[in-house]
């Protein structure tokens, strides 16, 4: 979002189709200060990017859900969760979570049902 003066702000909106994964990865790589992820599932790909970002000094937060069934069915990974915790990522749980939101530096948001595999 760009703001002119203190009143007029312009926000660009882009619809992502099949290339959402590339857009998410690009946003991870360009992030400078803060990354916030809301996703019900914890997978290795997202974990690698969050761990790398935390290693670059970027404040990283994850809001997820902790359903035992998700870990049993391997849609979430305990190993990934442990890696995030070790890297210093702030992890929070939210019951009945289904939304997916990727927020980078408070100026890039990717919202939808896209999963980063």
> In the CATH scheme, what is the homologous superfamily, with its name and number, of domain 20-112?
Endonuclease Chain A (3.30.870.10)
Domain locations in the chain as residue ranges: 20-112
Please compute the mean of the pLDDT values over residues 55-72 and round it to a whole number.
94
Instruction: Tell me the pLDDT tens digit for each residue of 66-104.
Output: 999 999 999 999 999 999 999 999 999 999 998 889 999
pTM over 0.85: no
Task: Let me know: does 93 contact 65? Beta carbons within 8 Å.
Answer: yes
């Amino acid at each position: 979002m760009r703001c002119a003066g203190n009143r007029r702000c312009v926000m660009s909106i882009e619809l992502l189709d099949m290339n959402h994964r590339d857009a998410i990865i690009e946003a991870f790589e360009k992030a400078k200060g803060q990354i916030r992820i809301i996703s019900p599932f914890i997978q290795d790909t997202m974990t690698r990017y969050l761990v790398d970002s935390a290693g670059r000094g970027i404040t990283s937060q994850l809001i997820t859900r902790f359903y035992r069934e998700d870990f049993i069915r391997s849609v979430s990974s305990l190993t990934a969760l442990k890696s995030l915790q070790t890297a210093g990522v702030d992890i929070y749980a939210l019951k009945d979570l289904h939304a997916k939101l990727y927020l980078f530096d408070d100026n890039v948001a990717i919202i939808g049902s896209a999963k980063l595999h």
